[in-house]
Amino acid sequence: MADFHFIRPLWLLAIIVLCLMLFMLKKLRVKQSGWQQLLPAHLAKVLVQGNAKAKSNSLVLPLLIGLLSILAMAGPSWQKLPQPVYQVAQGSVLIMDMSYSMYATDVAPNRLTRARYKAIDLLDSIKDGEVGLIAYAGDAFNISPLTDDSNNIKLLLPSLSPELMPVLGSNPFAALALANEMLVNAGHKDGDIYWFTDGIDNIDIQDITQWSRDHPYRLNILGIGTKTGAPIKLSDGELMKDDNGAIIVPKLTVQALQGLAQRGKGNYATLTQNNKDIERLTFKPLIADTDNTKASENTGDQWQEFGPYLLLLILPMVLSYFRRGALLATLPFALMLIPNNKAQADIWQDLWKTKDQQGQDYFNSEQYQQAAAQFKNPLWQGSAHYKAGDYQQALAAFQQENSAEALFNQGNALAKLEKIDDAIAAYEQALQRDPNLADAKANKAILEKLKQQQEQQEQESGDDQQQDDQQSDDQQDNDQPGENQDGESQDSQSQNSDSKDSDQQQGQQNSDQQDQSEKDESSAQENAKEQQEQENQQETDSDKQQTSAEQQAKNAQQAKDGEEANDAQSAQAQKMAEQLAKETEQKHQQLLNKVTDDPYMLLRNKMQLEYQKRRQDRRNIGVKKKW
Same domain, 135 and 33: no
Q: Is residue 245 part of a domain?
A: yes
- The predicted model gives 32-37 an average pLDDT of 58
pLDDT (0 to 100) of residue 452: 82
Any domain includes 44: yes
What residues have CB less than 8 Å from 443, skipping those under 6 apart?
408, 411, 412, 415, 423, 427
Q: Is residue 258 included in any domain, yes or no? A: yes
The torsion defined by the Cα of 160, 161, 163 and 164, in degrees rounded to 10, comes to: 10
Query: Does 264 reside within a domain?
Result: yes
Domain that holds residue 170: 91-286
Please tell me the distance from the alpha carbon of residue 36 to that of residue 41, in angstroms, as a whole number. 7
Q: What is the pLDDT of residues 410-430, one digit of tens each?
A: 888 888 888 888 888 888 888
Q: Is the pLDDT at 506 greater than 60, yes or no?
A: no
d(CA 117, CA 119): 5
Please name which of 102, 403, 48 lies closest in space to residue 224, comparing C-alpha atoms: 102
Same domain, 75 and 111: no
In a domain, 164, yes or no: yes
User: Residue 94 — pLDDT band, cuts 50, 70, 90?
Assistant: very high
CATH code at position 124: 3.40.50.410
Rounded distance between C-alpha atoms, residue 608 and residue 627, angstroms:
19
The three state secondary structure string of 411-422 is: HHHHHHCCCHHH
Q: What angle do CA 580, 584, 590 make, to 5 degrees?
A: 145
User: In this structure, is residue 526 part of a structural domain?
Assistant: no
Instruction: Assess whether 49 and 130 both reside in one domain.
Output: no
Asked whether residue 196 falls in the same domain as residue 337, the answer is no
pLDDT greater than 50 at residue 451: yes
pLDDT tens for 42-77 read 666 666 654 444 444 467 888 888 888 888 888 888
- Both 163 and 207 in one domain: the answer is yes
Helix (H, G, I), strand (E, B) or coil at 121: helix
Domain count, the chain: 2
Give the model's pLDDT for residue 242: 83
Whole-angstrom CA distances from 273 to 107, 118, 424, 561 are 10, 10, 51, 91
pLDDT in tens, 213-243: 999 999 999 999 999 999 998 888 888 888 8
Task: Verify that 102 and 216 share a domain, yes or no.
Answer: yes
Residues 148 and 275 in one domain: yes
Task: Please check whether residues 119 and 42 belong to one and the same domain.
Answer: no
Residues 118 and 265 in one domain: yes
300-357 pLDDT tens trace: 457 778 888 888 888 887 776 665 444 454 455 444 444 444 444 455 555 566 777 7
Report yes or no on 619 lying in a domain: no
CB atoms within 10 A of CB 165: 24
| Backbone phi, psi, residue 212, to 5° | -65, -35
Domain boundary (341, 372, 405) is at 341
Side chain identity at residue 366, one-letter code: E
Residue 613 lies in a domain: no
| Pair (133, 1) in one structural domain | no
244 and 96 part of one domain: yes
DSSP state at residue 375: -
Residues 173 and 191 in one domain: yes
**CB-based contacts of 427, cutoff 8 Å, min separation 6:** 407, 408, 411, 440, 441, 443, 444, 447
